[in-house]
Amino acid sequence: MATTSKRQQLEQWTTLVADTGDFDTIKALKPMDATTNPSLLLAVAKSEAGLALFKQANQLAKQYSPTPDASLLCDAFTAIVGSELLKIVPGLVSTEVDAQLSFNTKATVERARRLIALYRLRGADTHRILIKIAATWEGIQAAKVLEAEGTRTNLTLIFHPAQAIAAAQAQATLISPFVGRIYDWYKNRGEDVASDPGVAAVKTIFHRLKSMGSDTIVMGASFRSTAQIEALAGCDRLTISPALLEELARDKGSIKRQLSAELEPQEKTVFSYSEAEFRFALNQCAMSTDLLSDGIRRFVSDQQTLETLLSEPAVAA
């Protein structure tokens, strides 16, 4: 029996990220980084702190433009929440671009630039902000432009190695492969999940990127159990829900490191994807295409709900 918790052991090898936008929970859990998406932002908007944050977002939006529309109000709210998170965590905060732009490179770049400008109006350290973009081909190309400009990116909704490799080619700072959603997809179809296809997918992605010599950070996301987390001990980063972080903190059992960049082959393997090869690879994988589309739809739905809330007269006054 270990004298330290599983969370403490895991932190020796892996940077832990809180998968929540709740300020009090993050203060209590003390993760290194934090991440947001439209679903988490919507939860913050519906909390007791929501109305006060709406007011701040309205003021920030009017600093940027005297006549803000719903999308600008939403971006301002995102920057307000992200700025508060920067005060709580010592590391990085991911901020998602409107998922409705997932298939428009130019619009994604422009929206990312606006988010960074809003953060700067708040006096935030934008080097600690990761602009989070769905890993469509268009999103990956937007990340390439932004990284060249000095804006760091997090490519999310990763389900296939082709997405990860194309993201690494684009010099993305970080990618987020989704363990639990991959697991659920196979389980819901009655397939054998004893070997956990979600964990296997992240291991494959980790091995591919490290064997390429890529500096892109691999951050496993969307966990259903601590067993999945333990199976990826040593992954660069893991973003974990509060409930699972607390479970790891209570457990004094021992865990072993499963992944290490130092253990990857010394001879670097070169992988690359053209646009046609990328699209064909995803097309041939029903799981990846289903989950990428579903993830975008979910984020779009929550984004639209958030825009509606922020446009209400009591909030936008």
Chain segment 256-303, per-residue pLDDT in tens = 999 998 776 656 667 789 999 999 999 999 999 999 999 999 999 999
pLDDT value at residue 317: 55
132 is catalytic: yes
Nearest CA to 111 out of 54, 81, 119 is that of 119
What's the mean pLDDT when you consider all of the chain? Answer: 93
Range 105-108 contact pairs with CB under 8 angstroms and sequence separation of 24 or more:
105/138, 105/139, 105/141, 105/142, 105/145, 106/142, 108/133, 108/138, 108/139, 108/142
Is 150 a residue whose pLDDT tops 60?
yes
Is 165 a residue whose pLDDT tops 90?
yes
Tokens of 142: 């937007």
Q: Domain boundaries in the chain?
A: 6-316
pLDDT value at residue 264: 67
Domain 6-316, CATH homologous superfamily name and number: Aldolase class I (3.20.20.70)
pLDDT value at residue 309: 84
Catalytic entry in 62, 106, 132, 210: 132
